[in-house]
Amino acid sequence: MQIYRSWLFKKEFPILCETCLGPNPYLRMMKEKYGQECKICNRPFSVFRWCPGTGMRYKKTEICQTCSKIKNVCQTCLLDLEYGLPVQVRDSALKINDEIPKSNVNKEYFNQQVEKEFAEGDGTVAYGQIGKMKEKNEMLTKLTRKAPYYKRNLPHICSFWVKGECKRGEECPYRHEMPNDPEDPLSQQNIRDRFYGINDPVADKLFKRIQDLTKDEKFKASGEKMTSESNRIENNDSYKLTPGLPGVLPMPSSDFKNDFFNLGSKSSESLKAQSTKKTTDNKKSFKPY
């Protein structure tokens, strides 16, 4: 059993999200042992390269498994594995303050200590404060996508086609589309900022969406409160006399509202019928001396 575990540990299957893996269940990966350095800790690691599906670009792992386990993120897109959101949004919602050193010497020592903890554990619990969370956050679950977003795996835009110089036509592996506004903040994303949760433009966009959701919830709650109060008032309302009109029988307030406009002018003949009925009864019972 120990030999099987050591062999499984040497396999080093990448830590990836469902979107980066793609819809193809029969996936073939190419592995290059110590083929690239991690873009966070600058240590060499085994790089995996694969194609998620037809019409998609080849993807590869960008960070090592140690850095991925520390933040519980995908090795390719660096989004959270549970919610599929940026680290900055997740940490702010869950109030996580995991300080990771950024200098080379401190990063090396920190990674060594973390790897010792991973070796002692079974690997089923996330590192740090994320592993201690027992319940899911409601706001994060609302922001999560219900299905994988495979459009993120589409090829990049062909720079030659934008210049009008692409001669490949339909055989070109890149997209023939006009790019977005270069001043758009989403076009300027940094992998280190996303990992550390600092100045992430995607997170700023989601923060605005969170504000809109909170405003909608407050508006709905205030509307429900007003409707419940109005229903309670109508149910508890008793029969009332119409002020300033002598000889009119008492009637419910709902009928009183229907019989008058906002300015108090009569709109129906229910009051007239009741008042005439009362006067005729009084005339019949009247006896002269």
pLDDT at position 61 over 90? yes
- Token code pair at residue 5: 């575990």
More confident residue, 145 or 9: 145
pLDDT at position 149 over 80? yes
pLDDT of residue 19: 92
Q: Is 13 exposed, middle or buried (0-12, 13-18, 19+ CB in 10 A)?
A: exposed
pLDDT of residue 246: 53
Q: How far apart are the first and last CA of the chain?
A: 120
pLDDT of residue 210: 78
Q: Is the CB of residue 192 less than 8 Å from the CB of residue 79?
A: no
Predicted confidence band of residue 209 (pLDDT cuts 50, 70, 90): confident
- Mean pLDDT, the chain, rounded, equals 75
Give CA separation, 119 vs 107, 114, 124, in Å: 18, 9, 12
**Percentage with pLDDT > 70 across the chain:** 67
Q: pLDDT by residue (tens digit) across 235-282?
A: 554 444 445 455 555 555 555 555 554 444 444 445 455 555 445 454
**Separation CA 32–CA 61 (nearest Å):** 11
Predicted confidence band of residue 287 (pLDDT cuts 50, 70, 90): very low
